[in-house]
């Protein structure tokens, strides 16, 4: 790569441009030129400056940078670009030229009188080329022209002449040219023949958000950020200008996004020459939600097509073949609207209110045409808001209800508060949490009505999402306000039940749910009663009472009107599916949630969609649809990204999908994020799930280090579950995972205690998957205790049970466990059979981490076959036993081994007894000798370049590189 001297320009932000910048650097190393092109403000100059900064490294000999940035007024001034480019060229370079070229160039640079005639123009070209050659002989030369579109024509001609003749010279050129959207550069002739053209694309919404946060130093309200993103349309310059003057509060109802005067002037200058009728047509079009020629005619405009034809010639707006009016850029539309006087905007909205027929848009125009208090207008707006909510457009419903509150006369404070609360509810539906909280908080602070204050608290509780742990005071204050009002009491008891469910206070949750159902029944509030019964069903399910859960759920469904009752039944259908999933009816669960997702479509709020996607991810994971689970979890994350937040349930879903279809590292990273989010929210329900997934991710490695981390996490799951009095099927699965991790560490007694505890919690209605999970852990424990035959028998029982269930992921896990036990017991043929089945099944369902585990086990089996060992003998050492043998063989005491491996001394003693038996030794001295022989054999094998072991290696000890026995690493205490 050519080295350049440091460029004097600063280094602006390259948000969203790193790949393009890297590509430009690569191309500039291989070519003579790079040309950035794109619309005004798209970031061309930033890229030019950043590219120069990225090339700024010490150079020997130093190079030369010739730079110019012409402005619009420069285009009419001959050779002004050349003057700027040659400002840093030493006079000595000109003095070395022949007399005629030197005189012509001096004149062009205004250092002497100008010679006349065509010969003079040729002399300038020759002189410039000669100077570039002189500079290139001393070091690399970089020509930078930022703004080719405004380069004066004489300079452009000189550059076009020179750059065609730089072949073989150490000269590069970086340029930028402004072009209209979809157009190509017009000044490519000013660049070297091999110049690469790099279009600069718009930023995506996430990149715009990052840029805006960087500039204003804080997160703008979500609604304001969305308006900036929509209006800037990916143009970073426009986004920054808009962000600097954007409102900092969420209450911007009915107000357009401010467009800075300087920006308006730059964009609208071409419009000033249009006739007044054409300017009026553009204003009407800018105010309409969906402008068309038909609508403009209905608004009383005589010839909008002709007006738009004039605007099209100036690059402002156009009408397509279908009559739809489109501005060339959303910011032009915003600028046209913002530039009009207030009375002009009101007149336009009045015209449109009479012209449109769609009720929601008509109401919006009516409100903006009459920006004063008027009860008739407020009622019209509320009716339209309710229509918008039914139509599945909560954002529009929020805006209209907010406008209705603003238009409500001051002598009707109760109506104004009710309308503001409705706006807050609609904002919740649309995921506009800040706007919802602000509206509800306004009512809570100012309303004299206890019922309205209770309703405001309910909105704030809903707004808290999963973070309900710190809302106890809010609920208790609400219950005091609601005293004597059965309906309001039902609301608050319902939220107290939800809080108890999430915080693991199951008995309190059940008590509040029953109270909410009774009060809602008294008040005739069917919706709240349904919600209370659904919460009671979930609590009973967690407590391991499936019959009571089904009873409550069926009662709720009957009240809702059955499974086809629309939005009222959505949450109940989802819960029914989860109960079916926990009972191993995976196919039924999948069908229910898939139908539900298709039904809710675009009509549900963010909460409903995310909850359904999380449920679907859980079902797909258990059903072995690993690739689909990854896609569903990604869809869930994208849905939430639009709101600017990421919740614990969505992170949990992503981590869960990664454990089966991604990688252990990715699953661990996402699960840790889900744990932190759940802890921040005080959400113990999802904390349990997130911790369980983290434990599963740690177990994927199958070694003591991962097992130690898994034990730490899963012990916490067990403690939380017991504190919550939970006993549902997922918790029993996690008990099995904990026992398995303890077995890997050699803590067989502790594993036995966990399994005994789990068995006492298993009811007669326990699903087959729970029994299989416990049998898998019990089989592994039996094998670890030296009872390989009994262990394999339990594992085969689990395999047979799982073959009757649609749970391929669980089947693969159990097959791998069985194959591992068979391999360590020298039953190679049996091991190979089950491990191959595990590998093929894992590959078919897309379970990448499990496929890797199965492949590793097969590789170990093949390695032992190649070593020439035959026949059945004592069982192979487990990873933990091998590590203990290595440490004891090296002279460590039992207590030192226990401290090193973070296990008990009793566990070391038990494992050491098994090691003695498997290796056929009777003392620590004999063990040390056996381990030393293994090390020497390893060294001999490597010395002779042979994969087979040389010498009598103790059976069960695997050797690898010289001087080491292949054993797992000790647990990492930093994890």
Q: Which residues, in sequence order, are CB contacts of 683 under 8 Å at separation 6+?
A: 466, 467, 468, 469, 502, 503, 648
Q: What is the rounded (10 degree) CA torsion for 489, 491, 494, 500?
A: -80
Say whether 4 sits in a helix, a strand or coil: strand
Say whether 794 sits in a helix, a strand or coil: helix
State the pLDDT at residue 114: 58
- C-alpha closest to that of 488 among 445, 518, 458, 526: 458
* Number of Cβ atoms within 10 Å of the Cβ of 801: 20
Ramachandran category for residue 36: left, alpha or beta (phi over 0 → left; psi -120 to 50 → alpha): beta
| pLDDT, tens digit, 9 for 90 and up, residues 819-860 | 999 998 889 999 999 999 999 999 999 999 999 989 988 888
Task: Encode 14-25 in three state secondary structure.
Answer: CCCCHHHHHHHH
In the chain, what's the furthest Cα-to-Cα distance? 109
- On whether the CB atoms of residues 798 and 824 are closer than 8 A, the answer is no
| pLDDT, tens digit, 9 for 90 and up, residues 199-215 | 999 998 888 888 888 77
- On whether the CB atoms of residues 3 and 55 are closer than 8 A, the answer is yes
Cα angle 730, 731, 737; round to 5? 95
Q: Which residues, in sequence order, are CB contacts of 409 under 8 Å at separation 6+?
A: 373, 374, 375, 378
Q: Whats the size of the chain, residue-wise?
A: 975
Say whether 167 sits in a helix, a strand or coil: coil
State the pLDDT at residue 875: 57
pTM of the model: 0.62
What is the Cα–Cα distance from 359 to 348, expressed in whole angstroms?
17
What is the Cα–Cα distance from 519 to 778, expressed in whole angstroms?
48
In this prediction, the residues of the chain whose per-residue pLDDT falls under 50 are: 1-12, 57-61, 869-874, 936-975
State the pLDDT at residue 937: 43
State the pLDDT at residue 2: 40
| Phi, psi dihedral angles at 173 (to 5 degrees) | -140, 130
State the pLDDT at residue 113: 65
State the pLDDT at residue 644: 63
């Amino acid at each position: 790569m050519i080295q350049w001297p440091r460029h004097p320009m600063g280094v602006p932000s390259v948000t969203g441009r790193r790949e393009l910048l890297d590509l430009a650097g690569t191309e500039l190393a291989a070519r003579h030129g790079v040309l950035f092109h794109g619309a005004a403000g798209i970031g061309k100059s930033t890229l030019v400056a950043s590219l120069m900064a990225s090339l700024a490294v010490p150079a020997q000999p130093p190079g030369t940078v010739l730079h110019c940035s012409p402005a619009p007024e420069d285009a009419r001034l001959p050779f002004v670009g050349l003057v700027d480019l040659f400002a840093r060229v030493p006079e000595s370079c000109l003095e070395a030229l022949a007399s005629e070229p030197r005189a012509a160039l001096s004149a062009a640079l205004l250092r002497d009188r100008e010679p006349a005639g065509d010969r003079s123009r040729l002399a300038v070209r020759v002189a410039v080329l000669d100077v570039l050659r002189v500079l290139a002989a001393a070091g690399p030369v970089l020509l930078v022209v930022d703004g080719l579109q405004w380069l004066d024509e004489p300079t452009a001609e000189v550059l076009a002449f020179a750059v065609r003749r730089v072949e073989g010279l150490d000269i590069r050129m970086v340029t930028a040219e402004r072009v209209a959207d979809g157009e190509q550069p017009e000044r490519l002739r000013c660049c070297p023949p091999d110049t690469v053209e790099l279009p600069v694309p718009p930023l995506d919404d996430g990149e715009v958000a990052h840029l805006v946060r960087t500039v204003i130093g804080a997160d703008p309200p979500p609604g304001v950020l969305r308006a900036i993103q929509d209006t800037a349309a990916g143009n970073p310059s426009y986004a920054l200008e808009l962000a600097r003057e954007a409102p900092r509060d969420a209450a911007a109802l009915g107000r357009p996004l401010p467009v800075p005067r300087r920006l308006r002037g730059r964009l609208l200058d071409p419009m000033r020459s249009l006739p007044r009728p054409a300017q009026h047509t553009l204003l009407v079009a800018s105010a309409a939600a969906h402008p068309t020629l038909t609508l403009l005619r209905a608004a009383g405009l005589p010839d909008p097509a002709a007006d738009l034809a004039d605007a099209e010639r100036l690059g402002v707006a156009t009408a397509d073949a279908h009559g739809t009016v489109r501005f060339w850029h959303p910011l032009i539309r915003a600028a046209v609207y913002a530039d009009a006087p207030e009375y002009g905007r009101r007149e336009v909205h009045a015209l449109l209110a009479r012209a449109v027929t769609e009720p929601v848009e008509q109401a919006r125009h009516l409100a903006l045409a009459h920006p004063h208090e008027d009860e008739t207008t407020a009622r019209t707006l509320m009716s339209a808001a309710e229509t918008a909510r039914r139509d599945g457009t909560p954002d529009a419903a929020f805006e209209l209800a907010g406008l209705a509150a603003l238009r409500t006369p001051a002598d009707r404070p109760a109506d104004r508060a009710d309308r503001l609360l409705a706006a807050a509810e609609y904002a919740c539906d649309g995921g506009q949490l800040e706007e919802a909280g602000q509206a509800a908080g306004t009512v809570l602070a100012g309303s004299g009505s206890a019922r309205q204050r209770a309703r405001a608290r309910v909105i704030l509780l809903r707004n808290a999402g999963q973070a309900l742990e710190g809302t106890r005071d809010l609920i208790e204050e609400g219950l005091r306000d609601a005293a004597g009002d059965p309906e309001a009491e039902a609301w608050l008891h319902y939220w107290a039940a939800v809080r108890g469910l999430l915080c693991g206070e199951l008995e309190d949750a059940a008590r509040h749910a029953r109270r909410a159902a009774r009060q809602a029944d008294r008040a005739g509030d069917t919706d709240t009663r349904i919600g209370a019964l659904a919460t009671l069903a979930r609590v009973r399910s967690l407590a391991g009472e499936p019959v009571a859960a089904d009873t409550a759920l069926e009662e709720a469904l009957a009240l809702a009107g059955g499974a086809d009752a629309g939005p009222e039944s959505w949450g109940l259908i989802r819960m029914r599916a989860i109960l079916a999933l926990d009972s191993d009816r995976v196919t039924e669960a999948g069908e229910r949630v898939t139908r539900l997702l298709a039904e809710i479509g675009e009509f549900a709020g963010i909460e409903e969609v995310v909850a359904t996607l999380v449920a679907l991810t859980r079902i797909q994971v258990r059903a072995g649809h690993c690739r689909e689970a990854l896609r569903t979890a990604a869809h869930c994350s994208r849905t939430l990204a639009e709101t600017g937040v990421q919740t614990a349930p969505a992170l949990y879903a992503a981590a869960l999908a990664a454990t089966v279809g991604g990688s252990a590292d990715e699953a661990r990273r996402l699960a840790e994020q889900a744990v932190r989010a759940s802890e921040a929210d005080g959400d113990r329900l999802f904390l349990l799930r997130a911790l369980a997934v983290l434990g599963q991710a740690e177990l994927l490695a199958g070694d003591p280090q991962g097992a130690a981390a898994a034990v730490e996490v899963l012990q916490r799951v067990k403690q939380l579950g017991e504190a919550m009095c939970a006993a549902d099927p997922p918790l029993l699965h996690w008990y099995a995972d904990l026992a398995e991790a303890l077995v890997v560490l050699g803590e067989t007694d502790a594993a036995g205690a966990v399994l005994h505890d789990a068995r006492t919690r298993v009811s007669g209605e326990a699903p087959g998957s729970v029994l299989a999970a416990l049998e898998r852990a019990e089989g592994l424990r039996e094998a670890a205790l030296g009872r390989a035959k009994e262990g394999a028998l339990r594992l085969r029982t689990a395999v047979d049970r799982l073959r009757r269930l649609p749970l391929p992921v669980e089947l693969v896990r159990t097959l791998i466990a069985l194959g591992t036990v068979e391999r360590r017991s020298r039953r190679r043929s049996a091991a190979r059979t089950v491990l191959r089945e595990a590998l093929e099944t894992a590959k078919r369902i897309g379970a990448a981490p499990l496929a890797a585990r199965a492949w590793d086990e097969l590789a170990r089996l093949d390695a032992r076959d190649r070593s020439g060992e035959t026949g059945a003998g004592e069982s192979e050492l487990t990873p933990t036993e091998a590590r203990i043998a290595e440490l004891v063989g090296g002279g460590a005491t039992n207590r030192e081994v226990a401290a090193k491996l973070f296990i008990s001394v009793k566990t070391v003693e038990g494992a050491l007894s098994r090691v003695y038996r498997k290796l056929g030794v009777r003392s620590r001295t004999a063990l040390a000798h056996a381990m030393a022989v293994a090390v020497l054999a390893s060294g001999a094998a490597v010395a002779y370049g042979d994969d087979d072991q040389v010498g009598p290696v103790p059976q069960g000890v695997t050797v690898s590189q010289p001087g080491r026995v292949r054993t797992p690493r000790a647990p990492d205490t930093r994890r």
